[in-house]
Amino acid sequence: MSLLRVRDLAVDFRIDGSTTLRAVKGIGFDVAEHSTVALVGESGSGKTVTALAIMGLLPRENATVHAASRIDYLGRSLLQATNRDLRALRGAEISMIFQEPMSSLNPVFTVGFQIAEALRQHRALPVSQARLRALQLLGEVGLAEPQARLGAYPFQLSGGEQQRVMIAMAIACEPKLLIADEPTTALDVTVQRQILELIAGLQARRRMSVLFITHDLSLVGEIADEVVVMRRGEIREQGRTGRIFSAPQDPYTRALLACRPPLTHRPRRLPVIDDFLKGAPGGAGGEERRRGLRGDEPIILEARGLAKSFYFRDGFFGRRELKAVKGASFKLAKGKTLGVVGESGSGKTTLGLLLMRLHKACGGEVLFEGRDLLPLPPKAAYSYKRRIQIVFQNPYASLNPRFTVGQILMEPMQIHGVGSGAAERRALSLELLGKVGLAAESFAKYPHEFSGGQRQRIAIARALALRPEVLICDESVSALDVSVQAQLLNLLQDLQDEYAMSYLFISHDLAVVRYMADEVMVMKDGEIVEIAGPDEIYSNPKHPYTQLLLSSMPGRAQ
């Protein structure tokens, strides 16, 4: 018997007075008892809206669920339930964990208080018993020293620990259905692995059902019994997990599976979704791209003992030193890609900013064609700025919202005197837009009119405006959907082939780095623990931390 039945669910969002957006277009699926169902889709696929509709948490002022929609939980209609019934159900029978553990926990209450609150609310337990139960739960979700954690505030815990607390809260009242909305997206790979194992273990032990929402198909294989693939509010395919992976029927599912850089080989181009939807999947089976260094390439950028510390006030007189980068030394070969891998806090972003002189280094040298950039006065460093450029992670934050695309592209040219006049600069900008695959009409538009992938193309075009020799890509594709990621990786590769640029490719995504890099550098706590060729490092990792990272990669365990 199915625990949850969703039929013909359709949800409209009112955007303004005249326009509505249908976020979910009549979908239906079941969640059986004691099973895990994964809802997979890219941004805008309606997966989170579906979860919110089940929980009755859709914003009332602009969301409407169609009258024909049905959501039944053990035969009871959730859409017809009163607020009071829903409140009794939420938390007790159905509970939810969210993507961002930091913003889902109330910062002013202790962890123990917040867990106990859920228990007192639904189970009417006295304070002392609720506290005892909270302690047990913290132990169950695998927090070290649960007794001490009970009195901790959320900010005193790491992201993974916070997510564990969220899970403890969610299972506090022994729900039958746990909805997990991208529970591991904000976490590092090694932590992601632990949380996935925790959820799978709890599901088996407590015999609950889990509705697992994610954008990452590779995660699903390890945790789900059934998979529902969504795109633009519709279900493209659903079925048993094994069948979806071995014999996907829908071209979109096939595309999703193929877009991720494979771990076994390196196609010249990654296939993109359009190839599949048009029925002509390219890329796969074609010629392979060769990676790795011969060892005699000219070195364009070299760092020697690069160090950066941040200082915090500690007490009245003291100050605490945080070493973000500890003596990093590496070489970047001309026309090649150096991949930088590490978890959050490993210092990889700081490293990129140091090379750009956006942060002031505390020590070491950055040699660009043999000349140390760090001691140069700002005037002299100016001419080097155009030769090293950077593309940031978040395409929504890195473009000035008050500038048109044309202004964004022409500004660096104006500053550095590229092109003789406005007309020539405009022509150059239009050429750049063509290069990154954007229409000429984009020139007069503002960033808010573009999607995330398109904005990242604009950011790349801006960096290219100065014809840099070194491009630092700081998690440049991490915030994007899988399909868009593949397009941008292809674009970056094409540009490197054409201009022979050198890339410093910073990412937490091991599969992407393996695909892109000629040499891989692994960072941990500000230190470079291993540098080696991509095939070597993935097949024969030397450092224990590299081994841990690789074993945590999703899709690797299968």
Partner 1 sequence: MLPALPGAASPGVWTLAWRRFCRDRLGLACLVVVVIYAAVMAACAAGWIVRDWSEEVAVTYAPPSFLGPEAPRGAPAAAAATAPQGALEDYGIPDPLADDLAEIAKELSGVSASETRAATLAFGADKWGRDVLKKAVKGTEISLFVGLVAAALAAFLGTLFGALAGYRGGWIDDFFNWLYSVFTSIPYLLLVLAVATVVNQKGVLTVILILGLTGWTGIFRLIRAEYMKHKVREYVLAADAIGASEARRMFVHILPNVSHVVLVQLSLHVVLFIKSEVILTFLGFGVGVDTVSWGSMLAEAQSELILGKWWQIAAATCAMAVLVTAFSLLTDALRDALDPRLK
Rule CB under 8 A: which residues touch partner 1?
Answer: 17, 353, 356, 358, 382, 385-386, 389-390, 392-394, 397-402, 404, 411-412, 415-416, 423, 426-427, 430, 440-441, 443-446, 448-449, 459, 462-463, 465-466
Q: How far is the CB of 408 from partner 1 (least distance, A)?
A: 9
Q: Which residues contact 382 (CB under 8 A, 6 or more apart)?
A: none
3-state helix, strand, coil split of the chain in percent (to 5) is 40, 25, 35
Q: Which C-beta is closer to partner 1: that of 20 or that of 77?
A: 20
**Closest separation between CB of residue 155 and partner 1, Å?**
19
Residue number, 84 or 448, with CB nearest to partner 1: 448
Nearest distance from C-beta of residue 216 to partner 1, angstroms: 24
Q: Which is nearer to partner 1, 241 or 476 (CB)?
A: 476
As measured in angstroms, the least distance from the Cβ of 510 to partner 1 is 24
CB 476 within 8 A of CB 391: yes
**Which of helix, strand or coil describes residue 84?**
helix
The structure tokens 């390439």 sit at 297
- DSSP letter (8 states) at residue 234: E
CB of 311 to partner 1, least distance (A): 14
Provide the Cα torsion 355, 359, 362, 364; round to 10°. 10
**Nearest approach, Cβ of 61 to partner 1 (angstroms)?**
13
Rounded to a whole number of angstroms, the minimum distance from the CB of residue 109 to partner 1 is 26
Per residue, what are the HEC states of 208-251? CEEEEEECCHHHHHHHCCEEEEEECCEEEEEEEHHHHHHCCCCH
Q: Which of 164, 168, 178, 180 is nearest to 208 (CA)?
A: 178
Q: Which helix (H) or strand (E) holds 429?
A: helix 422-435
Tokens of 495: 């540009």
Which residue's CB is nearer to partner 1, number 331 or number 445?
Answer: 445
Report residue 364 as tokens: 């070491």
* Residue (36 or 398) nearer to partner 1, CB: 398
Token pair 């500000």 is found at: 526
Per DSSP, which regions of 241-293 are E strands? none
DSSP state of 161: H
Which tokens in the block code for residue 303? 């760092």
Of the pair 63, 152, the CB lying nearest partner 1 is at 63
Closer residue to partner 1 in complex, CB, 218/389: 389
- Radius of gyration over alpha carbons of the chain, in Å? 25
Side by side, the strands of the sheet bearing 226-231 are 94-97, 177-181, 209-214, 36-40, 226-231, 234-240
- In this complex, which beta carbon is closest to partner 1, that of residue 3 or of residue 408? 408
Cα angle: 294, vertex 297, 298; to 5 degrees: 165
| Nearest distance, CB of residue 404 and partner 1, angstroms | 7
